[in-house]
Amino acid sequence: MELPTVAAVAPAILSECGADDVVVDEGDITVAPSIGRYDLAILKAVVQVLPPDQARSSILNAARCLTAGGVIAIAGSGVVDDDRLCSPEGVFLNLTFLNLFRHGESYAEGQYRAWMTEAGFQDISRLRLADGCTLFRARLAR
């Protein structure tokens, strides 16, 4: 699901990459779920650029477009530990997000887990990737 400006150019880009079978729905994940039902939802570099209420809504709406047992993957930079002092990259990016995005911030692990749990996800895991990004992965319980 992409905003209209991105959805308009996405098919051509995907075709160049040999991914003609990828479906791109037009919409705003912070407002409503996709009209389709999928096995996987990926939120890459989305949550941390949104204010908390929209970050929460994006995760809840992603859950609403997944099939039972579907998986969510949330990836991005800037996740901080619950004490908000670590990771150093997350603390640095929190300062950056505050200057670049009107409401963006480095959310704490506990916030992600709470939003994902509220949305019905279980088996939530957090991985720190080699490039410094964080990846949350979970399975929809229903």
CATH number at residue 103: 3.40.50.150
Question: Whole-angstrom Cα distance, residue 128 to residue 23?
Answer: 29
| pLDDT number for residue 49 | 83
Condensed to tens digits (0 to 9), the pLDDT of residues 116-128 reads 999 999 999 999 8
Query: 57 is in which domain, residue-wise?
Result: 37-140
On the question of a cis peptide bond just before residue 15, with omega within 30 degrees of 0, the verdict is: no
In a domain, 6, yes or no: no
Question: Whole-angstrom Cα distance, residue 116 to residue 74?
Answer: 10
Contact indicator for 39, 67 with CB cutoff of 8 Å: yes
Q: pLDDT under 50 in the chain at which residues? A: none
Contact indicator for 76, 89 with CB cutoff of 8 Å: no
Q: What is the count of structural domains for the chain?
A: 1
In a domain, 82, yes or no: yes
The one-letter amino acid at 44? K
Condensed to tens digits (0 to 9), the pLDDT of residues 78-95 reads 777 777 666 666 566 656
| pLDDT number for residue 76 | 86
In a domain, 17, yes or no: no
| pLDDT number for residue 92 | 61
